[in-house]
Amino acid sequence: MRVFNLLKIAFKAIVLNKTRTLLTMLGIIIGVASVIAMLAIGEGSKESIRTTISSMGSNMITIRPGADTRGPARGSGGNVQTLVLEDYQKIKEQATLLSYSTPVVNSGGQVINGANNWPSTIYGVNPEYLNIKVVDLQSGSMFTDAEVKSAAKVALIGQTVVDNVFPNGQEPVGQMIRFNNIPFKVIGVLEEKGENTFGQDQDDVVIAPYTTVQKRILAIDYLNQIMASAVSEDDAPEAVTQVTEILRNQHKLQDFEDDDFTVRSMEELISTFSSTSEMLTILLVAVASISLLIGGIGIMNIMYVSVKERTKEIGLRMAVGGKGSDILMQFLIEAILISITGGLLGVLLGLGATVFIEKFLNWPTSVALYSIIISFAVCAVTGIFFGWYPARKAAALDPITALRYE
């Protein structure tokens, strides 16, 4: 009953000073809304990164020539020639944790169809490439193992290439194109995928048998890279280890020698980008939390004013038998009510801001339940922390001095 009465008194005091209370809450409202919105942007970014990279093949493993520099993602490995077809064949035979694998050779050049031409990249692969990259066909069909063996001049093209070399809307499948003056018959069109995480156009490609690209375009006997897909995302780290051991044995490397190749999984890429996103989120939340601190200081300030204004009332309550603990609780409850009410309004504003950001700014967001719980808990703690000292000061007033206060 005592707590209920104190709640009523605190509520009346807040209602009597609506404008002042609302202005006091503003710091808390803005702080909570900012924290929720910033965390939502951070979580949305991480999910977006994971989804985008997974769309490139979440189980994908890339084996590139040359030692691991752990620098920015490289292209084809340049002129490093430490990967050959025998390496791919050994991986194919011995790697039990891989579901698909393909040699990869690639070259830049011009795609030509009549008077139309477009600069693009041709990738020489085998039929398992589409499974590794999680790409479907929009029309036509994939080339066969027999066509790879015979180095057939057949190709699949992406939508960007279609738009630029077949601008009149004609059906590409069955048509002849040239890549660096080598004729190719288009047997399929890849499903549109758009840009990847690095801003590269995934539809600006030509896919052909790796034997054809090796012999007829590049005239090389080594591989630019090997691509594979782990049995599952969970098996990817172990698959990387397995491939590394196979290649070290194949290259006859001693224990003290460094790898002359680099094996990476998409999980590493996801982890790297997620770590960067987390650091940015922490920074944004730290900045947003300053508003909560300012809001807390505002509560302390207004409670000091309230104590000063109600000094006579405090003295009267004490004179008729009120205890210091009752006065303490009264002002503490008032501070907590202001803080929690501000927190509730802040949560609503934060959720609204998140919807606005996603809908009108097209930024990916994801509101995590923990962000609401933490923000709300911080509000309660802020009310207690910044309301305690003014409440204690009120409880410590001498009744006679308080009654004489003007």
Residue 75: predicted pLDDT: 42
Q: Which of 178, 198, 230 delimits the end of a domain?
A: 230
390 located within any domain: yes
For the chain, which ranges sit under pLDDT 70? 1-3, 6, 50, 52-58, 68-80, 196-199, 267-274, 277, 310, 312, 322, 398-406
250 located within any domain: no
Long-range (24+ apart) CB contacts under 8 A made by 14-18 are 14/334, 14/337, 14/338, 17/306
317 located within any domain: yes
For the beta carbon of residue 295, count every other beta carbon within 10 angstroms. Answer: 28
- Count of domains forming the chain: 2
| Range of the structural domain that residue 105 is part of | 97-230
90 located within any domain: no
Strands annotated E in 70-149: 98-113, 116-125, 137-140
380 located within any domain: yes
Give the DSSP per-residue string, 8-29: HHHHHHHHHTHHHHHHHHHHHH
59 located within any domain: no
Radius of gyration, CA atoms only, the chain: 33
Residue 273: predicted pLDDT: 66
Residue 384: predicted pLDDT: 78
Angstrom distance (rounded) from CA 342 to CA 202:
47
Element (H, E) at 340: helix 324-360
265 located within any domain: no
Which one-letter amino acid corresponds to residue 53? Answer: I
Alpha helices by DSSP H, 63-128: 85-94
pLDDT one-digit tens code per residue, 251-286: 999 988 899 999 988 766 666 666 776 777 777 777
pTM of the model: 0.62
pLDDT one-digit tens code per residue, 71-120: 444 444 445 678 999 999 999 999 999 999 999 999 999 999 989 999 99
Residue 289: predicted pLDDT: 73
252 located within any domain: no
